[in-house]
């Protein structure tokens, strides 16, 4: 199914948070790449509560290029929510989420479009190398993708981030998923449709520092696992069952030993180890249950995912200044 350049629009979806040093270089590289594809395009920037002059630079670009669209969120909601806001507002026949730090090179986009022209609904970009990252970051990322793949029934691609192309059909499906706890890599796979991949080498950040630290990455991993798998609850159940069997076996051993050899005084160290072990298992199990109950609690509130305080160039044609906000 061949798409024609004349009638198709490609939306470049860019969540940004304190990315001022990268904005201009990203814009120049993206315009150069997209002008070579022959497709009409728009760049939808979602400002996720930036505290630097990111928003000012975006409005300056908007004044020069009407293909630049801006969604200014009321605060920092996180990348997953910012990406959702972009999906809600973009108009393209194909949508490409990409970070502004240029670790995912825009020069890969023609390959994504070529696969889309072949009829694929989702074309995701798989990393072959991760330049500019520490060995610990590479190792934890490598383990995370493989761990999640084993835990969840959804085929989440390994070594694949948010950088991908999605058809309008896929975007419309994603817009129906409104849960509060959003693991977008899982949602991209959950909706299904015909998918394929291209490979690329991830580059170092063009400028600035990553906004993720290991604590945020840990929480992100917990989000991914609990959003698409009940395995932690099952592990807690199996662990409790296993300990119960061990306790029954140990009780039988003590009963037999007492009948045959008498009842020696139990040692204090073994007693403490047993009590602490069982207490740790109970607290861990309660913690796992609490993670799921907390998510049920958040979903039951049915709060909006985000609020927009300003936008420019979107399909409703309404320009909202940064000072006026949203009614």
* Domains of the chain with CATH codes: 9-229+304-312 (3.90.550.10), 231-301 (no CATH)
pLDDT of residue 96: 92
Q: Which two tokens stand for residue 251?
A: 């009780």
Residue 13: predicted pLDDT: 92
Q: How confident is the model at residue 4 (pLDDT cuts 50, 70, 90)?
A: very low
The whole-number average pLDDT for the span 126-155 is: 67
Average confidence (pLDDT) over 8-20: 89
pLDDT greater at residue 323 or residue 197: 197
Give the residue among 170, 173, 143 at the shortest CA–CA distance from 158. Answer: 143
Name the band, by pLDDT with cuts 50, 70 and 90, for residue 46. Answer: very high
Q: Strand locations in the chain, DSSP E?
A: 9-16, 40-47, 68-73, 94-97, 122-130, 160-167, 195-202, 308-312
Q: Higher confidence at residue 284 or residue 215? A: 284
Give the integer Cα–Cα distance in Å for 137 and 114.
Answer: 31
Mean per-residue pLDDT, 25-34: 90
Look at 32-36, 108-112, 167-171, 299-303 and tell me which has the smallest mean pLDDT: 299-303
What is the SS3 assignment for 189?
helix
Q: What is the mean pLDDT of the chain?
A: 76
pLDDT tens per residue, range 154-184: 777 777 778 889 889 889 988 888 877 777 7
Q: What span, in angstroms and rounded, lies between the C-alpha atoms of 8 and 94?
A: 8
Does the pLDDT at position 48 exceed 80? yes
Query: In which band, very low, low, confident or very high, does the pLDDT at 296 lie, cut at 50, 70 and 90?
Result: confident
Residue 325 has pLDDT above 60, yes or no: no
- The reply to whether the predicted model has a pTM over 0.85 is no
Q: Are strands 40-47 and 68-73 parallel, antiparallel or unpaired?
A: parallel
Q: Report the C-alpha gap between 108 and 105 in whole angstroms.
A: 6
Task: Name the token pair of 2.
Answer: 């061949």
Average confidence (pLDDT) over 62-90: 88
Does the pLDDT at position 77 exceed 70? yes
Is 302 a residue whose pLDDT tops 60?
Answer: yes
Q: For position 210, what pLDDT does the model report?
A: 60
pLDDT reported for residue 126:
84
Token reading at 56: 């000012």
Confidence label for 317 from pLDDT (cuts 50, 70 and 90): very low
């Amino acid at each position: 199914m061949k798409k024609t350049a004349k009638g198709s629009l490609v939306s470049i979806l860019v969540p940004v948070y304190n990315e001022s040093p990268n904005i201009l270089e990203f814009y120049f590289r993206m315009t150069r790449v997209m002008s070579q594809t022959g497709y009409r395009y728009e760049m939808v920037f979602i400002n996720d509560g930036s505290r630097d002059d990111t928003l000012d630079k975006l409005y300056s670009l908007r004044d020069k290029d009407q293909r630049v669209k801006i969604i200014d969120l009321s605060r920092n909601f996180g990348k997953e929510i910012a990406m959702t806001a972009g999906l809600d507002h973009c108009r393209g026949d194909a949508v490409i989420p990409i970070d502004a730090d240029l670790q995912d090179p825009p020069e890969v986009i023609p390959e994504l479009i070529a696969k889309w022209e072949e009829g694929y609904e989702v074309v995701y970009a798989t990393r072959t190398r991760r330049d500019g990252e520490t060995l610990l970051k590479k190792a934890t990322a490598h383990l995370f993708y493989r761990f999640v793949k084993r835990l969840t029934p959804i085929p989440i691609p390994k070594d694949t981030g948010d950088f991908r192309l999605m058809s309008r059909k896929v975007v419309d499906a994603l817009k129906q998923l409104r849960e509060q706890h959003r693991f977008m890599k899982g949602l991209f796979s959950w909706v299904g449709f015909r998918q394929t991949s291209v490979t690329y080498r991830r580059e170092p950040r063009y400028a600035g520092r990553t906004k993720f630290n290991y604590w945020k990455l840990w929480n992100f991993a917990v989000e991914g696992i609990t959003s698409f798998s009940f395995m932690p609850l099952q592990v807690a159940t199996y662990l409790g069952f296993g300990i119960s069997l061990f306790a029954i076996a140990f009780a039988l051993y003590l009963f037999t030993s007492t009948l045959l050899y008498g009842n020696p005084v139990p040692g204090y160290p073994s007693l403490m180890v047993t009590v602490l072990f069982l207490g740790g298992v109970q607290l861990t199990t309660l913690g796992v249950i609490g993670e799921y109950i907390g998510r049920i609690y958040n979903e039951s509130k049915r709060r909006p995912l985000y609020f927009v305080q300003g936008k420019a160039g979107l399909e409703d044609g309404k320009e909202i200044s940064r000072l006026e906000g949203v009614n």
